[in-house]
Structure 1
Amino acid sequence: MFEHRQHEMERLMKEDEDFLRIFNRHQELDKRVTAAETGTAPMEDLALTQLKKEKLWAKDQLARMMDSQSA
C-alpha cells in the first residue's frame, strides 16, 4: 500500500498517532479479509463485504492524511 510514498508514510507513522492507529487498523483488516478469502477464517459474505468497506475507508483516510501533509 502506497509503495511510492513509503518515506512519507513512515514519517507520519512516527509523528501522527491518528495516522498510526488507522494504519494499524487497515493492516488488521487486510489480514482478516485475506484469511476469509483464502478460507482459513471462513465468514459470511455480508461480514466480508463489511470488512472490505471498512478497509477501503481506512485506506482512503490514510491517503487523505498523506495528501494534506504534502500540500
Structure 2
Amino acid sequence: MFEDQLQAVNELITTNSEFKVLHDRHYELDEKVSELSTGPIDDFTLEKMKKEKLLIKDQMAAILANHTK
C-alpha cells in the first residue's frame, strides 16, 4: 500500500497520530481478512471488514495527499 510514497508514509507514521492509528488498524484488518479468507466465515463479516479497510485506506490517502502538497 502506497509503495511509491513509502518515505512520506513512514514520516506520517511517526509524526501524525491519526495516520498511525489508521495505518495500524488497516494492517490489523489486512491480517484478519487474509486469515479469515481461507477459513469458514460468513460473507457479511468478511465484506464488512473489507469495506472498513477500504475506508481507512481512503482516509490515509487523503492525509498523505495533504502531506505531500
Do they superpose with TM above 0.5? yes
TM-score (norm 2): 0.95
* Number of aligned positions between the proteins: 69
Residue correspondence of structure 1 range 29-68 to structure 2 within 5 A = 29-39=29-39, 42-68=40-66
Residue in 1 that maps onto 2:22 = 22
TM-score normalised according to structure 1 size: 0.93
Q: Write out per-residue CA displacement over residues 35-60 of structure 1, whole angstroms, 9 at most, x where no aligned residue.
A: 11122xx3210000000000000111
Alignment RMSD: 0.7
List 4+ stretches of structure 1 deviating above 3 A. none
Cα distance in 2 between the residues matched to 1:48 and 1:55 = 11
Q: Which amino acid aligns with 1:36?
A: L
List aligned pairs for 1:4-19, cutoff 5 A: 4-19=4-19
Between the aligned residues of both structures, percent identity stands at 36
Q: Which runs of 5+ in 2 are unaligned?
A: none
Higher relative contact order (CA 8 A, sep 6+): 2
